[in-house]
Amino acid sequence: MPRGYTQVGIIGAGPAGLMLSHLLHLHGIHSIVLEARSRSYCEERVRAGVLEHTSVDLLQQAGVAHRLQREGLRHQGIEIGVDGMRHRIPFLECTGKCVTVYGQREVVKDLIARRLDDGGDLRFECGDVSLHHLEDEQPLIRIHKNDAIEEIRCDFLAGCDGFHGISRASIPAQAIALYERTYPFAWLGILAEAPPSREELLYMHHERGFALYSMRSPRITRLYLQCRPDEDIRDWSDDRIWSELHARLACADGWHPTPGPILQKSITGMRSFVVEPLQYGRLFLAGDAAHIVPPTGAKGMNLALADVHYLGLALHAFYRRGDEAALRSYSQTCLQRIWKAQRFSWWMTSLLHRFPEDSPFDRKRQRAELAYLAASRAAATSLAENYVGLPLDPI
């Protein structure tokens, strides 16, 4: 490639940006990935951990699932409970498919290692990046670092730099529509050095608020508590966290979460967000730059991988055959899946959380819906097929 040019400039080295760069490499398409943070930051930040059956298939087909297949925890279902009484949703029985617990940071590590092994151009701590001439045939990336300016011309740009990144902010406000809902609660999440004492995730509805028992590896558990969005993490001592987890997750059969040293803790607000369209000129948005879902439905990273699957195929069609049809339909194709995931994530969130504005009627209705889910095979199958991942639409 000539200096100062790449076919596809990718902003962001999260799962979306890295996976897109790898898929393009498999198709013989050159890309440069620009990331504001350090490599260690990207590899260590704690994010999602549940991969749909669909996402595992994508990673396997791309040849980057070797460690995933060795170390991922394959789950055939989840449990949903109300005040200590649990009901299992059997994914394998309902759909013939499973999910795999494998942390987002592990996916990022695998993709970074593969791109570097393949000679990929990944630039961490790249400085101040701005995007220009998005509607021209060759948009421009301008990089300011150490009092120097570098410019990179591209055929296309992929904005994979998250909700707070520069990509979506580079699009004129009048050219896009934003759809957003902010929830009146947050999640307090912890990583604990405690071997998992359950084989599957437990989602628990409780009068004190929602709680989730999850895991990341055979020695690390990941747990969440519903809390106020304005909570101060300093008010949550380790003892208080474990006391609240025991209160909300304790089961009628005597099970309760095994405590251990807390390695990390944080509070994350919850929102639903979609931008339409996902394209402006030669800039295409993917992952959290285009959409955010509440984590209850485990869709964030999975949607990002689906986005770049479609974008990779569309760019391959353009470079191989000069066919722009898939690029023109990229936004519409992705949005069909995005809104289905938004619906499911909203439904799971509404089903399991205590909303402060709920009336006694709302709470009775919520419990009736949980009881229906426990008694109805059709309802369980609907949850299962959405959770394990809907099929990818052909393009």
How many Å apart are CA 158 and CA 16, to the nearest integer?
9
Amino acid at 262: I
Helix (H, G, I), strand (E, B) or coil at 227: strand
Residue 116 sits at φ, ψ, to 5 deg, of: -70, -40
CA proximity to 247, closest of 206, 189, 186: 206
280 annotated active-site: no
Q: Select from 109, 108, 99, 10 the least CA-distant residue to 55.
A: 99
Please identify which of the residues 139, 295, 309, 353 carries the catalytic annotation. Answer: 295
Annotated catalytic residue within 299, 309, 316, 353: 299
C-alpha 123/C-alpha 168 separation (Å) is 20
Catalytic option among 102, 183, 203, 310: 203
Whether residue 310 lies in the annotated active site: no
Rounded-to-integer distance, Cα 191 and Cα 214, Å: 10
Could you tell me which residues come within 8 angstroms of residue 363 by beta carbon, excluding any fewer than 6 positions away? 354
- Residue 295 falls in the annotated catalytic set: yes
Identify which of 97, 82, 95 has the alpha carbon closest to the alpha carbon of residue 373. 82
Beta bridge partners of 325: none
Integer Cα distance of 335 and 342 in angstroms: 10
Q: Residue 339: how many CA atoms within 13 Å on its side-chain side?
A: 10
Pairing mode of beta strands 77-82, 85-90: antiparallel
Active-site hit among 213, 224, 280, 387: 387
Are 218 and 193 in contact by the 8 Å Cβ rule? The answer is no
Catalytic residue among 75, 97, 205, 309: 75
254: left (phi over 0), alpha (psi -120 to 50) or beta: left
Distance CA 118, CA 64 (A): 12
**Is residue 281 helix, strand or coil?**
coil
β-pair partners for 85: 82
Helix (H) or strand (E) holding 204: strand 202-205
Task: Name 225's Cβ contacts closer than 8 Å, sequence gap at least 6.
Answer: 187, 188, 209, 210, 211, 241, 244, 245, 248
Q: For this structure, is 183 an active site residue?
A: no
The catalytic residue positions are 75, 203, 295, 299, 387
